[in-house]
Each structure stands twice: as C-alpha cells, then as structure tokens.
Chain A
Amino acid sequence: MMSVRSTTTAQPHPMWDRAAETRPRAEREALQLERLRAQLERARRVPFYRDILSHRELGPQSLRSLDDVRRLPFTTKDDMRRQHPLGLLAVPRKELARIHGSSGTTGTPTFVGYTAGDLQTWSELCARFLVAGGLRPEHTVQVAFGYGLFTGGFGLHYGIEKVGAAVIPVAAGNTRRQLEIMRDLDPEVLICTPSYALTIADTARELGLEPRALPIRIGHFGGEPWTEDMRREIEEQLDIQAFNNYGLSEIIGPGVSGECQARTGMHIQEDHFLVECLDPETLEPVPEGEPGELVITALTREAMPMLRYRTRDIARLYRDPCPCGRTTMRMSRVTGRTDDMLIIRGVNVFPSQIEEALLRVEGTTPHYLIEVSRPGTLDEVHVKVEIHPEIFSDRMDRMQALCDRISREIQTVAGIRAHVDLVEPRRLERFVGKAKRVLDTRGLAD
C-alpha cells in the first residue's frame, strides 16, 4: 500500500512532503550542514576525492558552517570522464541498483550509479515536484520521455508511482500512437520535452484533431532548455498548465528542482542538494538574483557523492518567500551555458563534436558555422562549411557524396542529424581570437 502523506486535494497547495518542503530555513541549514559533513566522510571512500581532501587536509571537522562548502574541491564533467566508467563510486559495485548515463562530447556516455537508497530518494524528489505541479493519486500520466540510459523516463516513472498515480510508459516518439493512446486512456498529465509537446499539438492538427480537446490538463516538461514564450505557446495550444522541472544525470536526474502552482521559479530540494550560484570566471558567489553558474553538491547520494559539481548551467537563485508556503530557495530557468553546449532535440551537443566530425573529412575545416533554429517545433541544425579547392569537384555526385559524408560523421560523433550547407569561400565571418562557431536563433535566453 502506497502511503499518500500530507497530499490532499482540499489544501490549496498540496505537498508531497510538507515537513521537508516547509522546514524553517535555520533548521534546514543545520540539516544541510550535518549532511554535508556526512557526505564528506562518504566522499573519502572515492580515491579521486580522498586524494584531494587529504592533500588539502579537509575533513568533516573543517566544515563549521555551510559557507565552508567553498573550501571543498569542484568536480567537473572532465573529472567524471577521467574516472570513466565508474571511478567515482563510493560503494562497492555490488551495492549498485541501477546505472544511468548521459551523452558526452565523445559519444560515449558518462555513467552514473545508484544504490537502492538513491533510487528511493530519487522517486521521493520526483514525487515532490510532480505534486507541487498538480499531480494527484487519481491521475493517469502519459510519459513520453525516453526510457533508457537517459534519466528522464525512469526517474519520472517511479516518481509518479510513488505518488500513486497510474503511469502509461509510452516512451518517446511515434506521435500518432501517442495521440491514439491519449484518446483511448484519457491521461490528465503529460510528461515529455517541451518541444515534443508542441509536436504533439501539431500532429493532432494534422490528423484533424483539436489539440485543446485532448484530455491532458497538466504538463511537466524538462530535458531541454525552453522559454516563457514556449510555455505560453504550449499552454495555449493544448489548453493545459505547463510546469518546468530541472535536474541532471550527473547529480541524480530530474528532481533537483521543480515549479509549484505559483510558478515563480523552481523550488530546489535543498535538503538533498546544496546549490551555489557562482561567477564562472572568478568562482565567487554572485549576489542573489544575479545570473551565475549553478554548482551542486549532492547531500544524500550514496553511490556517487558528487561534491560541488559544475553544471555549466546559468540560472538565478531566489530566496524571497513563495506564495505556496514552501521555504526552499528557487531557481530560474536555465538561460544559458558557460561552455557552448547545445541541447538539440534533447541531445547534448558540443561544437567541438561538430569540429571533430569535420576533421574526419579532409579539407572541411577550419571555417564552419553551426546554425541552430527552431522553424516549427523541432530544433534544426545546419552546419555551414566553406568550400575549399581540396574538396571541390566539378562532379555533382562527388559534391553530394561529400555532404552525405560530413552528415554521417556528425551523426556518428554528435548523435544528431544535421543539414550540411556548403558555402562559398570567405562567406563565413572571420574572428580574431576565439571564433564564434554557433548561431543559435532559438532565443532560449529569455
């Protein structure tokens, strides 16, 4: 029997874990400090952290206040890669209950391990933001997120089960089938990427269905950056309430934060994550409400106790009270990245991957430009490559083969389909210093 705690529909702001979500700040900070110390102890079981911590003579006693988190080392994606595949584990391999992965610059995923306890925590966290965003035990939820190494599908799935709602695990893709299932089973809640929600609306119209008449009333969207404009669009087209949530596989997956009914930012689950917002250059904290890089320490993760993970995501943090009554800090949408990582149809893509693909085709670098747009609801990538005597042929079949080859290499290295546009010499802008390789016209940075 699943326990539905303080969730009742009678309250204006139902919460999954009212005690945790409304805990007074001082009390929560004491809990955070206690957990941070425990986490440091756990981190010492990881050789990577043990070396740094003993070198800096840092132990739990070094943490006198939460501010002392700044004495701890950062962890980067590169560190994770160097510890490939599971060098950051703090538990014996046999303790793992699941392994997920995220896409990386080299095409090989970085793996993330979970103990049974981590999976419990994770579904609790997902349950919290789902309930904050209107999920009720009596609902049926269509999950159109990918199920697999990607954390989206499984993370949300168990969160929904935790709440006691019914899951339809349709997984991503096959939009017509999504619509048929939607019509047959009347789910009130949809879970997918925001751009896929718009694809569902488009496809419904193509099939002669009125998207607003679909049974969906609530959407929980994540997995890619989006904007307030997109939210209005989705809500208008599907006649639903759309909620944003945030997470990343390196930390746990979805569940780091999510919106409540007030939708004034995403409530951070602070009892499980210590979130800093730093100037990416100086690594000093930015004033409250200013944009900075989110740096996250996982306070309760057992399998991988991530210390000060540099997310590269730019957002703002807010501490002012929220009308919903939750006392936790909130974060804005992710408005940018400190590296130039692009998220294209949910796939993480670095310009360096495109460059790597081009390097495999002789004569195609150094002048190229990656153009990302969203002409309809889906992201489109055009890679512009300057023609060069070495690659130019008077034969059309050879030129077509060249485009196909570049496109194939990009698919192999970056995992995305890109249009290859050959352009005349000197058509692309030249730069002194760091070249600008990306033209993103999707307008994601509100």
Chain B
Amino acid sequence: MKLQQLSLFLENRPGRLEAPLSAIAAEGINILTLSLADTAQFGILRLIVRDWERAKRVLEQAGWVVNLTEVVAVDVLDRPGGLAEALRILEDSDLNIEYMYAFSLRRGDKAILIFRFEDPDRAIQVLTDKGLHVVDGEELMSFVP
C-alpha cells in the first residue's frame, strides 16, 4: 500500500530543477508528480515516478544524493470540500504528518494527497478504518498514461 518517493537535494539556483527532471525524462521514465520544498539556500525535490528503482539509479549515477522514503497516497473527490473532509479525518486521528502535498489527476474527478507519516503502516490502518481510500502504487500508475 505504500509508495516509494525519491527525494533529491538541490541547491537553490536557476536551472537546478530542470537537470534531474531531464535526466529521468531522457531514460523515458514517467514522473507522476513532484513537489519542491525550498529555502533561500537549498531545496528538496520529491518525486513519485513509475519506475523508482531505475530513476534512483539514473539520478545517483548523475551525481545526485537521492533519498528513498515511503509515503501514503489517498484519493479524494476533486471538488470543494473533498480535501477538507480528508484533512478533518486526519486531524481527528493522532497520526503524525511530517509533510503532505496534493495533485489532481488529469483524467477523472479525483485528487491525490501524498502524505509522509511518521508511521506509515499505522496510518494506512487508521485511514482505511475511517473510510478513506488508500491508493497503492499499481492503482496510482493506472490513473496516468
């Protein structure tokens, strides 16, 4: 049920985001979604890709420091209130969220929330119990071309 997320360290200077993305694209690896957290000085690029093992190898060979993290994806209806409802459920639980990001699917009426939990296994249990739909890797990949 967990997804593998790749994280990369980037210096905060013009053009830095483009280089790793091109490196993956050149290998024909699809990027499902990405999120960039940054400060004035550096950034952390987080990626969910179709073939993370190959992507990790490609990036590492090109010299990036890549970190592998397990994250949890939940789908919600892409309409007003859809996200709020999911977040309310999370707030009511005592799950520790390290960070989260969201993206909409190009097809369908779903939005995907990606969570980095302190304890992903327990989080999956709690979310499922509360009636939220946890999306696994295979299902997530099926949403995109």
CB < 8 Å neighbour of A422 from B9, B37, B98:
B9
Interface residues of B in 42-67 (CB under 8 A from A): 42, 44, 46, 63-67
B1-59 with Cβ < 8 A to chain A: 5, 7, 9-11, 37, 39, 41-42, 44, 46
Q: 1/0 per position for A414-426, CB-CB distance to B under 8 A?
A: 0000000111111
Contacts across chains A and B counted by CB atoms under 8 Å: 48
Interface residue B110 (Cβ < 8 Å from any Cβ of A): no
Q: Are A421 and B41 also in contact (CB < 8 A) when A394-B46, A396-B99 are? A: yes
Does any Cβ of B come within 8 Å of A427's Cβ? yes
Q: Is the CB of A399 within 8 A of B11?
A: no
- Interface membership of B128, Cβ < 8 A: no
A388 at the B interface (CB under 8 A): yes
With contacts A387-B9, A399-B42 taken as known, whether A425 is within 8 angstroms of B63 at the C-beta atoms is yes
Of the residues B9, B37, B63, contact of A392 by C-beta under 8 Å = B9
Docked Cα-Cα span, A396 to B45, in Å, equals: 11
CA distance A387 to B9 in the complex (A): 8
Q: Is the CB of B67 within 8 A of A424?
A: no
Cβ contacts under 8 Å, B98 to chain A: 395
What's the dominant secondary structure at chain B's contact region? strand
Q: Find residues 85-121 in chain B having any chain A CB closer than 8 Å to their own CB.
A: 98-99, 116
By a CB distance below 8 angstroms, the chain B residues around A22 are none
Q: Contact check: which of B7, B44, B64, B69 meets A424 at CB < 8 Å?
A: B64
B-chain residues with CB within 8 Å of residue A393 when the two chains form the complex: 7, 67
The docked-state distance in angstroms from the alpha carbon of A393 to that of B9 is 8
Known: A399-B44, A421-B41, A422-B41. A394 touches B7 (CB 8 A): yes
Chain A residue contacts of B116, Cβ below 8 A: 394-395
Is A389 touching B65 in the complex (CB atoms < 8 A)? yes
B13 CB, min distance to chain A CBs, angstroms: 10
The contact size tier of chain A is 10 to 19
Residue among B5, B66, B98, B116 with the most chain A CB within 10 A?
Answer: B98
Contact B63 A396 (CB under 8 A): no
A424 to B60: give the CA distance in the assembly, Å: 12
Question: Closest approach, in angstroms, between the C-beta of B40 and any C-beta of chain A?
Answer: 10
Query: Distance in Å from the Cβ of B9 to the closest Cβ of chain A?
Result: 5
A400-B63 in contact (CB<8A): no
Is B65's CB under 8 angstroms from A396's CB?
no
Closest beta carbon of chain A to B98's beta carbon, Å: 6
Which single residue of chain B is at the shortest CB-CB distance from A387? B9
Give A20 to B1 CA distance when docked, in angstroms: 89
Contact partner, B67, options A394, A421, A426, Cβ 8 Å: A394
A-B contact pairs, 16 of them (CB 8 A): A392-B9, A392-B65, A393-B67, A394-B5, A394-B44, A394-B46, A395-B99, A395-B116, A396-B39, A396-B44, A399-B44, A400-B39, A422-B11, A422-B42, A424-B64, A427-B11
Chain B residues in the interface with A (C-beta under 8 A): 5, 7, 9-11, 37, 39, 41-42, 44, 46, 63-67, 69, 98-99, 116
Task: Other than A421-B41, A424-B11, A426-B63, give 10 A-B pairs with Cβ distance below 8 A.
Answer: A392-B65, A394-B7, A394-B44, A394-B46, A394-B69, A395-B99, A396-B39, A400-B39, A422-B42, A424-B9
Task: Name A residues whose Cβ lies closer than 8 Å to a Cβ of B.
Answer: 387-389, 392-396, 399-400, 421-427
